[in-house]
């Protein structure tokens, strides 16, 4: 951390915070003896994701055809293999293994299946950040996994109805435990789902409607709302990697349509997002305005003289400081 330019006092404070942490386990009225931890980070600490990002800042790809994706405590190596040439990707994986060894990190060989001499296992489907991705880019496996998990949650929703829970409580439970599963990363996969997969997931929504007794938003409506919101975020951020795909026509009323030779590409997120924005009555302001600066180009005009102060009134004002905390996922080591 000191090499990144952090203040020495701050580095010492973080070192003292992370070392010598007592930990115990309590079950009911029984408490185990304490042990002292000097590795990892405290569970639930908001500093954990930030420290993970700082301490892994030098874990970067060495080849332009490879990409490191870091999300909270997960790091994924993605490589573009052209003409069956895996040289750059294999050297990247070897370099990552060496980096982990130099930084006293152990690799889960059984999970990665491709590092440190382990037998390479070719799989037809893999799970990445909760989304099942298949080798043929179909979403049947992902739909089956979401449907199975959501149907298990319907059991508890029925339990709430038998317990005569009011509809607002059941609706809150549905939003937090069922809808959140059905709509996880929905902008990635829903547009490319076939009709059968969509009907399978929508049946779960209709079942929840009958249990709760209120009308629930359809997955198609949720997808359209989130697709528009995500597309507007990308168009408003020139630094986003996908910003260049949204190009305005000379008329200024529509975005340039993207050509697609296959239905899979046509149903992908970028193409769906462009069509969705073009269907809006009015496009947002384009191009995005530059961020405002707080430094004026010319000296400001001095303000007029302040009026005389009002008569003194005996009044006490209590000012409470507020702190914004960002909760993030716990890091793993």
DSSP characters for 88-103?
A: HHHHHHHHHHHHHHHT
- For residue 289, what pLDDT is reported? 42
- For residue 110, what pLDDT is reported? 64
Nearest CA among 178, 175, 176 for reference residue 155: 178
What is the pLDDT tens value at each position of the chain, 333 positions in all? 777 888 888 888 888 888 888 888 888 888 999 988 887 777 778 888 788 888 888 888 888 888 888 777 777 788 877 787 778 888 888 888 888 888 877 776 665 554 445 555 677 778 878 888 888 888 999 999 999 999 999 999 999 999 999 999 999 999 999 999 999 999 999 988 899 999 999 999 999 999 999 999 999 999 999 999 999 999 888 888 888 888 888 887 888 888 888 888 888 899 999 999 888 888 777 654 444 333 333 344 444 444 444 443 333 333 333 333 333 333 343
Compute CA 191 distance to the chain's CA centroid, rounded to the nearest angstrom. 19
Distance CA 238, CA 31 (A): 54
- For residue 42, what pLDDT is reported? 77
- For residue 8, what pLDDT is reported? 87
Q: For the chain, state the CA radius of gyration.
A: 27
Helix (H, G, I), strand (E, B) or coil at 82: strand
Domain residues of the chain, as ranges?
A: 2-48, 66-122, 134-217, 226-278
Instruction: Work out the angle at residue 161's Cα, subtended by the Cα atoms of residues 158 and 164, and round it to the nearest 5 degrees.
Output: 155
Neighbouring CB atoms inside 10 A of 85's CB total: 10
Helix extents (H) in the chain: 8-18, 47-55, 87-102, 109-112, 140-162, 167-174, 180-182, 186-189, 195-212, 219-235, 263-266, 269-278
- For residue 118, what pLDDT is reported? 52
Tally DSSP H helices, then E strands, for the chain. 12, 8
Tokens standing for residue 137: 């880019």
Contacts of 157 (CB under 8 A, 6+ apart): 170, 173, 174, 178, 208, 211, 212
Whole-prediction pTM? 0.62
């Amino acid at each position: 951390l000191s090499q990144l330019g952090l203040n020495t006092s701050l580095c010492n404070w973080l070192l003292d915070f992370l070392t010598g942490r007592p930990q115990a386990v309590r079950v009911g009225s029984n408490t185990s003896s304490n042990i002292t931890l000097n590795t990892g980070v405290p569970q639930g600490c908001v500093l954990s994701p930030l420290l993970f990002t700082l301490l892994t800042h030098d874990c970067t790809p060495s080849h332009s055809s490879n990409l490191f994706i870091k999300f909270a405590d997960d790091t994924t190596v993605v490589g573009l293999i052209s003409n069956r040439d895996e040289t750059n990707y294999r050297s990247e994986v070897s370099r990552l293994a060496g980096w982990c060894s130099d930084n006293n990190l152990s690799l889960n060989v059984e999970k990665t299946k491709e590092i440190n001499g382990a037998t390479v296992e070719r799989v037809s489907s893999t799970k990445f950040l909760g989304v099942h991705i298949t080798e043929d880019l179909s979403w049947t496996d992902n739909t089956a996994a979401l449907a199975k998990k959501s149907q298990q949650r319907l059991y508890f929703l029925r339990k709430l109805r038998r317990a005569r829970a009011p509809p607002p409580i059941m609706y809150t439970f549905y939003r937090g435990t069922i809808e959140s599963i059905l709509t996880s990363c929905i902008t990635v996969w829903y547009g490319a789902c076939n009709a059968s997969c969509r009907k399978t997931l929508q049946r779960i929504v209709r079942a929840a409607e009958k249990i709760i007794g209120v009308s629930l938003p359809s997955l198609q409506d949720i997808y359209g709302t989130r697709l528009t919101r995500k597309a507007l975020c990308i168009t408003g951020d020139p630094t986003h990697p996908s910003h260049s795909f949204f190009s305005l026509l000379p008329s200024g009323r529509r975005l340039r349509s993207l050509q697609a030779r296959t239905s899979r590409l046509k149903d992908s997120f970028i193409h769906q997002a462009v069509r969705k924005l073009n269907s809006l009555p009015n496009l947002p302001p384009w191009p995005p305005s530059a961020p405002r600066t707080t430094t004026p180009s010319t000296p400001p005009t001095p303000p007029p003289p302040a009026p005389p102060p009002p008569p003194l009134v005996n009044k006490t004002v209590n000012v409470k400081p507020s702190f914004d905390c960002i909760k993030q996922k716990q890091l793993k080591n």
